[in-house]
Amino acid sequence: MNLEEKLLLARQLEKLRVDVIEAGFPISSEGDFESVKRIAEEVRTVTIAGLARAGKLDIDRCWEALQHAAKPRIHTFIATSDIHLKYKLKKTREQVLQDAYEAVKYAKTLCDEVEFSAEDASRSDMEYLCQVLEAAIEAGAFVVNIPDTVGYAIPLEFCERIKYIRSHVRNIGRAILSVHCHNDLGLAVANSLIAVQNGARQVECTINGIGERAGNASLEEIVMALHTRKDFFDLETGVNTHEIYPASSLLTNLTGMLVQANKAVVGRNAFSHEAGIHQDGVIKEKSTYEIMLPETVGIKESKLVMGKHSGRHALKLKYQELGFELSQAELEKAYILFKKVADKKKEVFDEDLIVIVRDALRIFPEAYKIKYIQSSGGNQIIATATIVLEKDGQQLRDSAIGDGPVDAALRAIDRITGIAGKLMDYTVHSVTRGKDAVGEVFMNVDFGKVSFIGKAASTDIVDASARAYLNAINKMVHYQMAVAEHQEQANTAEA
């Protein structure tokens, strides 16, 4: 995600009322630093955390990004398992213990709220792990986090580990106990919940369970498990559950990482009933086969909502119902796209409207716009495409041949813009049902040093593909301008 997209997601997480947003790893790149800095400056009701290795340079850079946050937190970490010490860190246990203590102590001089993580805690020696946690708390850690970094733990085993920590770390009462579970064995949510049941009071998790390798513990599953089974856990979160589905949908539209249909809580089939016995039961009493109401997580029961005769006022009210507050200019852009879809489709669904508004809400200037596209293809002819783009009020035209009409369209765009991207990933999916369904295209385009996600939607897949590719190129142009501006400022400062 680019900076504007990260800010958009951070504001949605604020509406979701999460307690902490870990906004990035400031020392890892200039982009991550700027993201953490802007989110810290603009999101004021949520604690903003930055990640830092256990070293002064990392911590200083982290604090530089966080210092203007209303509620800042430095999250510093170091590995504690023997395998990481031997092969990655090449340090002794005593050295790592000292590093952990000094990192927390130094971070505490900069920031009141410091979190410490013992990376690969689930494979660490228990006695040594407790020594490190005790030292971190003694140095001033407000939160101590137990990561199952490689998704190795089994729930009963993880439960015993949490119990052992609570009973053997003598100053554990001075810190919040946290867990951070990965999903390599499909157990991240189960491990997180059993940790909560045994005293953990912070869970580090992600929307849609995204994350390294097989992902992290899924926020929506943890929150709704605690919400639905309050009789069992007797605990609650501050999360606004009605914003769960909007958050899931936004993340999908920003990253192109689609949610599987049978995904718990937010999947397309999560509240669908096909079996006759199930349908009969739900018609008579929803609770027979639904343990949660779809409205609780922000999924509207109404599906058919708008048609080609609907006006701007009705569209604005519908978007307000779906959680979008549009300015007049944004509404006008959305309305133009809506009418284009409505003219081609008999039925326009909520899912169509969400895709339309994401397409309309361009959150950075567009250097190029598609004015016209014409393509042809078939198994007996060479595919061709003609593209007309607009830039600075001037129309630019070119044609190309390719291995299919999509490839031809992308080659024509390359010829016009002079910016050739390499397609790394290309996904097309149907937003709604029917032959006239809107198709949504996501593509990951590599430009050498950087890559960007391009996205667009249309009832015409060639059109959607061309606009998704151009979306990525526009991001590249925006990036190049930002780099040039940064370099110019640096040169001015030197002069």
Q: What's the farthest any 2 CA atoms get from each other in the chain?
A: 77
Q: How many other C-beta atoms are found inside a 10 Å radius of the C-beta of residue 127?
A: 9
Q: What average pLDDT is seen over the chain?
A: 91
Paired with 117 in beta bridges are 77, 145
Q: Is the residue at 293 inside a domain?
A: no
- Cα(140)–Cα(461) distance, integer angstroms: 56
Question: Which residues, other chains included, contact 344 with Cβ-Cβ below 8 Å and sequence gap of 6+?
Answer: 436, 459
The reported pLDDT for the residue numbered 316 is 85
The reported pLDDT for the residue numbered 485 is 79
The reported pLDDT for the residue numbered 479 is 82
DSSP 63-79: HHHHTT-SSEEEEEEEE
- Phi, psi (5° rounding) for residue 47? -65, 130
Mean pLDDT, residues 429-456 taken together:
83
Residue 355 and residue 437 in one domain: no
> Residue 478 is encoded by which pair of tokens?
């925006």
Treating both helix axes as pointing N-terminal to C-terminal, what angle do 155-168 and 126-139 enclose, rounded to 10 degrees? Answer: 50
The type of residue at 460 is D
The reported pLDDT for the residue numbered 195 is 98
Q: What is the pLDDT of residues 415-428, one digit of tens each?
A: 999 999 999 999 99
What CATH number is given to the structural domain containing 218?
Answer: 3.20.20.70
What CATH number is given to the structural domain containing 469?
Answer: 3.30.160.270
Instruction: Indicate if the pLDDT at residue 304 is higher than 50.
Output: no
Residue 218 and residue 309 in one domain: no
What is the torsional sign of CA 472, 473, 477, 480? positive
Q: What is the pTM of this model?
A: 0.79
Q: What is the pLDDT of residues 343-377, one digit of tens each?
A: 876 667 776 787 777 666 655 568 999 999 999 99
Res. 279 pLDDT band, cuts 50 70 90: low
Which of 246-255, 277-286, 468-477 is predicted least confidently?
Answer: 277-286
Quick check: 4 and 364 in contact, CB under 8 A?
Answer: yes
The reported pLDDT for the residue numbered 239 is 98
- Only one residue has tokens 């990482």, namely 257
The reported pLDDT for the residue numbered 238 is 97
The reported pLDDT for the residue numbered 164 is 98
Residue 182 and residue 311 in one domain: no
Residue 66 and residue 144 in one domain: yes
The reported pLDDT for the residue numbered 303 is 44
More confident residue, 280 or 62: 62
Residue 315 and residue 236 in one domain: no
More confident residue, 124 or 356: 124
Q: Is the residue at 290 inside a domain?
A: no
Quick check: 450 and 3 in contact, CB under 8 A?
Answer: no
Identify the CA nearest to 387 among candidates 357, 410, 353: 410
Q: Is the residue at 134 inside a domain?
A: yes
Residue 374 and residue 348 in one domain: no
Mean pLDDT, residues 65-71 taken together:
98
Between strands 72-79 and 47-53, the pairing is parallel
More confident residue, 271 or 193: 193
Last residue of a domain, one of 315, 340, 359: 359
Quick check: 431 and 259 in contact, CB under 8 A?
Answer: no
Mean pLDDT, residues 300-314 taken together:
68
Residue 98 and residue 224 in one domain: yes
Residues spanned by the domain of 336: 302-359
Quick check: 322 and 350 in contact, CB under 8 A?
Answer: yes
- Cα(23)–Cα(66) distance, integer angstroms: 10
Q: Is the residue at 63 inside a domain?
A: yes
Last residue of a domain, one of 340, 359, 378: 359
The type of residue at 52 is A
Treating both helix axes as pointing N-terminal to C-terminal, what angle do 328-344 and 312-321 enclose, rounded to 10 degrees? Answer: 100
- The H helix count followed by the E strand count for the chain is 17, 15
Mean pLDDT, residues 185-211 taken together:
98
Residue 380 and residue 352 in one domain: no
- Only one residue has tokens 């999360």, namely 239
Which of the residue ranges 291-305, 377-391, 423-437 has the most confident prediction, judged by mean pLDDT?
377-391
Q: How many other C-beta atoms are found inside a 10 Å radius of the C-beta of residue 174?
A: 13
E strands, 310-382, in order:
348-349, 369-376
The reported pLDDT for the residue numbered 458 is 85
The reported pLDDT for the residue numbered 347 is 65
Last residue of a domain, one of 359, 378, 403: 359
Q: Is the residue at 488 inside a domain?
A: no
Quick check: 139 and 107 in contact, CB under 8 A?
Answer: no
Q: Is the residue at 396 inside a domain?
A: yes
Q: Is the residue at 261 inside a domain?
A: no
Mean pLDDT, residues 77-98 taken together:
98
Question: Which residues, other chains included, contact 223 with Cβ-Cβ below 8 Å and sequence gap of 6+?
Answer: 237, 239, 241, 244
Report the percentage of the chain scoring pLDDT > 90: 66
Residue 238 and residue 111 in one domain: yes
Q: What is the pLDDT of residues 36-53, one digit of tens each?
A: 999 999 999 999 999 999
- Give me the number of domains the chain comprises: 3
Residue 404 and residue 458 in one domain: yes
The reported pLDDT for the residue numbered 274 is 62
Quick check: 443 and 472 in contact, CB under 8 A?
Answer: yes
What is the torsional sign of CA 269, 310, 11, 200? negative
Q: Is the residue at 400 inside a domain?
A: yes
Residue 103 and residue 137 in one domain: yes
> Residue 183 is encoded by which pair of tokens?
């999903």
Q: What is the pLDDT of residues 224-278, one digit of tens each?
A: 999 999 999 999 999 999 999 999 988 988 888 889 989 999 988 888 776 667 7
Residue 87 and residue 42 in one domain: yes
Q: What is the pLDDT of residues 132-175, one digit of tens each?
A: 999 999 999 999 999 999 999 999 999 999 999 999 999 999 99
Res. 88 pLDDT band, cuts 50 70 90: very high
The reported pLDDT for the residue numbered 317 is 80
- Phi, psi (5° rounding) for residue 50? -120, 145
